[in-house]
Structure 1
Amino acid sequence: MTSPVYQTVIVGGGFTGLFTALHLAHEHYPRSVILIDKNERFCFKPLLYEYFDGEMNAFQVVPRFSELLKGSGVIFIQDAVQSIDLHQKEVKLASGNSYNYSNLVLALGSVTGYHHVEGAKEHAFPFWTQADAIALDRHLRDCLQQAIQTKDPEQRRKLLTVVVVGGGASGVEMAATLADFLPRWYGSLGGKIWEIRVVIIHHGQVILEGDINDSLRPIAEKELQKRTVPIEIFTEAETTSVHPHEIEYKINNQVKKLPTSTTIWTAGTSIHPLIKDLPISQENRDEHDRPLVTRALQLLEFPEVFAGGDCAGVQDKSLPPTAQVAYQQGSDIARNLKALALEEKLKPSKVNIRGTLLKLGINDAAANLFNTLEVVGEPAHLIRQGTYLTLLPTPIHDFKATTEWLDENIFHHHLPFKMFFKKMCKYWHRLKLQF
């Protein structure tokens, strides 16, 4: 007779997965915990723009899982998940290894959604991981270097035009970042910075439509025009195809072509293939085909399985796909896993949305705190970075990263903000467990 397996397997090392593991370690969970992710490093996605443009370093934004989990007792496996068998309670990996579980946590997030647009997957740059940021960085630097050397004005215009597809929060933050630091790069090469062109192509009537940052739209629209080069915004424009040196879009029923050497795709997400393939009936999935979970974050048909973040929908409740939601759900899953192990009653997950933070360029942002206070410009930038840094995993990493940031951004370069920072510390303390 085979002995029962008492271990929890977490697939996916994003916010939900990593914070579930860390909270289990902190709460002295009585069962072994295995965290599986294909990447070596955790990616703190809200700050990936800062890593991309050089405002923050790899230690702060993309720390190694081995460092974050050191001394926690959590076993980290760097491998790709090949299949998940909910009936046999088994996770199979690309390496050929497999793990049985007594409890499973699905934290795979979502994937870039190309929505069947011709050439988008092949020719547009996604922006999800450290590898994506590095690839885009190299490509853009190469484009600027070619532009400074070419004498053909049309070729130079194409090389210096960057198109961001999608006017949600990711598209707005990406475009704002590009419109500030690309001119710096090009100017340092001796180029004319006004030749840089950054364009947002958005299918909706307005940017940030239906987004959690919707209330910040008026601020965002103004700030996007204040960048080093103003950002062009094409609304009610449907991208129809992406080519290596051109993007096609439809506006007012007319197909137009825009020459560009760089297309960045931020136009939504799709369900992770592994989540899509789970044996879960359609009536227990939401409108995005994600499996529904109870208020305690358990799958309806498989209560030993928990799910959170982008890869699941909570019954009768709509939550935005943001870091603050995934972070809090990780904590709630850990609490309920421990309750199960101790045969205690499970509690419903309670997610508190305490405002929004939107990057609007280098040293610029907008913040809506507690839905009562709006802050704009450099103060909002400091709030945003300081808030996120207090959420970086593990106390040691949190302390190191935050003190490095304080020295660089407050006490070294921004002495007038010392008093402002002290006043905002109380806000960060309240935000710490919310974002």
Structure 2
Amino acid sequence: MKLRQKPIVIVGAGFAGMTFALTLKKLNPSLPILVVDSKTNFIFKPLMYEVLSKEIRSWEATPKFANIFSDASITFLKNCLTKIDFKENILEFSDDLKLGYQYLVICTGSVPNSFSIKGVDENCYFFNDFHDLNKLNSFLKKSQETAFNRKLFIIGGGPSGIELACKIKDIFKEQFEINLIEKSNEILNKNKIFNREQAEKALEKRQINILLNSTVKEVSETKIIISSEVGITSLDKDIVIYTAGVKPNLSYLETDQITKKFGRILVNNNFQIENYKNCFAIGDISVVEGMEDLPITAQVAMQEGNHLANNLELSIQGKDTLPFEFKDNGEMISLGIGEASISGLGVTFSGKLAFEARRLIYASKLPDITESLKSASSWIFQKKSFLKKFLKKDNSN
């Protein structure tokens, strides 16, 4: 009697898990692969800002997992992981379901980290998924019916805070007085210098206030309390959006179950979890030993997913695996409606052309090829002038 092979189970279908599953299935179509996620749709987070500004439609950034994985002959299960028994190779889920696995890849992503700042969880809006987006958008629209210059604060001067500030200003004009709060001495302090300079220009152009070297101490229903070089300041606020940080989503792990570093799962250069050679962690929840400075980005997550898929196939074939090497392909940032900045691989440019290039690059990276083509074509038909420009250039050569 032929024994049924236990599946390769992937928990978490974000950029890391999605890339790993689809790449491995292409490399070895006969492998039984099961993907588990608590949500029904993939969230292409870099495009959430364009959904807010209606530059793209929501379906373009949220393809359904069922469609993505069924097309690739991969099994998808909507469920929530509650416990891992690493010794017995058993997963437990919220509905009491138990699953065994041959290999396990966990990549459950990040959740907002409020750093225990009083009032943040209760009195701030977030921008981590489409529930957050819809909740924020509902408030902003209702505010159009009230007085102008409502006081809006964004906590965090990283990419998310910058992109939100510029989009909201372009959408709502003078409806809000926007204040960006950053605890360090500059915005985008972990990003490319060119993009930082372009972001500073974009904020200045839109008259968005930047409060540097400022730390939020508390957010109440009506006030935001900030500590800075001038002391403690209590300011009136109408809305506060929190974008200042994330933490790994590891609620299913028991205390001291595995080795961690910086609150994330410590893995070796093959993404293996210490003492459990058939278990791997990739994406936001993991930190590679010796590569602790890798940024928590979609680019890193996708490269990790692709590399692990190739390595696992090599291992299954009895071949030596290869160490992971991150390739920095640069970064892109949206700077308002129809504008962006791109820096990477020796190329830097900004403005409308950068926005169009960014949009097309992201469209090509959507995981469901059908939705990707739909997204790209829907955008291209709106950008005929962009195509004509390049066709004219090609014909002149």
Give the TM interval when normalised to the shorter protein: over 0.9
Task: Give the 3 Å change call, closer, same or farther, for CA 423–367 of structure 1 in structure 2.
Answer: farther
Is contact 2:24–2:310 with CA below 8 Å preserved after alignment?
Answer: yes
Map residues 280-295 of structure 1 onto 2, 5 A cutoff. 280=257, 284-286=259-261, 288-295=262-269
Q: Does the 8 Å CA contact 1:275/1:311 hold for their aligned counterparts? A: no
**Residue 331 of structure 1, aligned match among 288, 297, 306:** 306
How big is the shift at 1:15? Answer: 0.2
**Deviations 1:2-24 (Å, cap 9, x if unpaired)?**
x7852111111110011111112
Residue deviations 1:33-53, cap 9 Å, x none?
A: 111111111000111111122
1:256 aligned counterpart, secondary structure: strand
C-alpha contact (below 8 Å) 1:297/1:348 kept by paired residues? no
Q: Which residue of 2 aligns with 1:360?
A: 335
1:316 to 290, 298, 308: 290
Residue of structure 2 in register with 1:419 after alignment: 389
Amino acid at match of 1:366: S
Amino acid at match of 1:346: T
CA distance in 2, matches of 1:422, 1:106: 48
Deviation at 1:63, TM superposition (A): 1.1
Q: 1:122-171 deviations in whole A, cap 9, x for unaligned?
A: 111111111111111111112222x15xxxxxxx65xx221100001111
* Pair 1:93–1:278, CA change in 2 (3 A): same
Matched, 1:172 2:152: no
1:28–1:323 CA distance, 2 compared to 1 (3 A):
same
The residue aligned with 1:297 is 271
What are the residue-to-residue correspondences of 1:399-414 with 2, within 5 Å?
Answer: 399-408=373-382, 410-411=383-384
> Is 1:223–2:202 an aligned residue pair?
yes
In structure 2, the partner of 1:37 is 37
* 2:374 is the counterpart of 1:395: no
Map 1:26-425 to 2 at 5 A.
26-145=26-145, 147-148=146-147, 157=149, 160-183=150-173, 193=174, 195-209=175-189, 211-227=190-206, 230-252=207-229, 254-274=231-251, 277=254, 279-280=256-257, 284-286=259-261, 288-317=262-291, 318-370=293-345, 372-408=346-382, 410-411=383-384, 415=385, 418-420=388-390
Count of residue pairs the alignment pairs up:
391
* Equivalent position amino acid for 1:399 in 2: L
Query: For 2:84, what is the secondary structure of its paired residue?
Result: strand
Amino acid at match of 2:183: H
SS of structure 2 residue aligned to 1:347: coil
For normalisation by structure 1, the TM-score amounts to 0.85
Letter in 2 for 1:285: K
In structure 1, C-alpha distance between the alignment counterparts of 2:6 and 2:253, rounded to whole Å: 27
Unpaired runs of at least 5, structure 1:
149-155, 184-192, 425-435
Matched position secondary structure for 1:291: strand
Q: Distance in 2 between matches of 1:261 and 1:116?
A: 21
Distance 2:349 2:252 in 1: 38
Q: Aligned AA for 2:339?
A: D
CA contact (8 A) 2:268 2:274 kept: yes
Are 1:15 and 2:15 matched, yes or no? yes
Q: Give the CA deviation at 1:198.
A: 0.9
Runs of at least 5 residues in structure 2 that lack an aligned partner in the other structure: none
* CA distance, structure 2, for counterparts of residue 85 and residue 102 of structure 1: 13
AA in 2 matched with 1:206? E
Matched-pair contact (CA < 8 Å) for 1:7–1:102: yes
Whether the aligned pair in 2 keeps the contact of 1:123 and 1:244 (CA below 8 Å) is yes
- Tell me, yes or no, if the aligned pair for 1:143 and 1:261 is still in contact at 8 Å: no
Q: How far 1:315 moved relative to its partner?
A: 1.4
Q: Give 3-state SS (helix, strand or coil) of 2:273's partner.
A: coil
Question: Could you tell me whether the CA contact under 8 Å between 1:213 and 1:358 is conserved in 2?
Answer: no
Tell whether the 8 Å contact from 1:42 to 1:63 is kept in structure 2 after alignment. Answer: yes
Letter of the structure 2 residue corresponding to residue 218 of structure 1: E
Amino acid at match of 1:141: K
CA distance in 2, matches of 1:38, 1:178: 30
TM-superposed deviation, 1:279: 4.2
**Structure 1 residues 19, 421: CA separation in 2 closer, same or farther (over 3 Å shift)?**
farther
Q: Kindly provide the CA deviation profile for residues 217-269 of structure 1, in whole angstroms up to 9, marking residues without a partner as x.
A: 11110111223xx2110011110111222211111252212222211110011
Query: What RMSD in Å do the two structures reach over aligned CA positions?
Result: 2.1
Q: Judge conservation of contact 1:276–1:289 (CA < 8 Å) in 2.
A: no
Residue 274 of structure 1 aligns to a residue whose secondary structure is: coil
Q: Which moved more, 1:211-220 or 1:76-85?
A: 211-220
Kindly indicate whether the alpha-carbon contact (under 8 Å) linking 2:194 and 2:348 is maintained by their aligned counterparts in 1.
Answer: no
d(CA) in 1 for partners of 2:392, 2:256: 52
Task: Give the letter for the 2:209 counterpart.
Answer: E
**Distance in 2 of aligned mates of 1:275 and 1:289:** 14
Give the letter for the 2:163 counterpart: E
Q: Which residue of 1 aligns with 2:24?
A: 24
